[in-house]
Amino acid sequence: MTIAFWCVFIACLLPIISSWVCGYFRGKQLGSIDNKHPRAQYALLEGPGARAYAAQQNAWEALPIFIAAVVIAHLAGVAPERSALAAEIFIVARILYPVFYIANKDILRSLSFLVGIGACISLFIMAA
């Protein structure tokens, strides 16, 4: 398995890890985790908890474009070393994204988003 495919696996774990962070904030802010109505409980979160939930949602939203970019680059015959670099950049950016989001560092969050999406675009361009 290529490094880029391992990065896809890591990217698939990021929203799940983010959900654990959301669980922490649900328990901290609301006193317990309501597993019967989690979405209603998410709506009650404020501050870092609300931002953690938003970061989790964004992780799910970023996942399909990254998966598509890696698969298309692979099918197009992009050299594994080139696709690996772009995939690694994506992963680093997507790990930093929720950190900046929860810390309310909006400019750094936006920058990490742009770096991540730029890595995906570069994979598409390499495949062209």
Torsion of CA 102, 7, 113, 47, to 10 degrees: -10
Between the two ends of the chain, the Cα-to-Cα distance in Å is 22
Residue 104 per-residue DSSP state: T
Alpha-carbon span 28 to 64, nearest angstrom: 31
Q: What is the pLDDT of residues 64-106, one digit of tens each?
A: 999 999 999 999 999 999 999 999 999 999 999 999 999 999 9
Mean pLDDT, the chain, as a whole number?
96
Whether residue 34 has pLDDT greater than 90? no
CA distances from 11 to 6, 18, 22, 62, 101 (A): 9, 11, 17, 9, 17
- Domains of the chain by residue range: 3-127
Whether residue 5 has pLDDT greater than 90? yes
Alpha-carbon span 115 to 22, nearest angstrom: 24
Percent of the chain with pLDDT over 90: 94
What was the pLDDT predicted at 68? 98
Amino acid 5 reads: F
Residue that the structure tokens 């099918």 belong to: 75
> pLDDT band at 35, cuts 50/70/90?
confident
CA distances from 123 to 81, 92, 94 (A): 12, 16, 16
The CATH class, in words, for 3-127 is mainly alpha
E strand map for 14-102? none
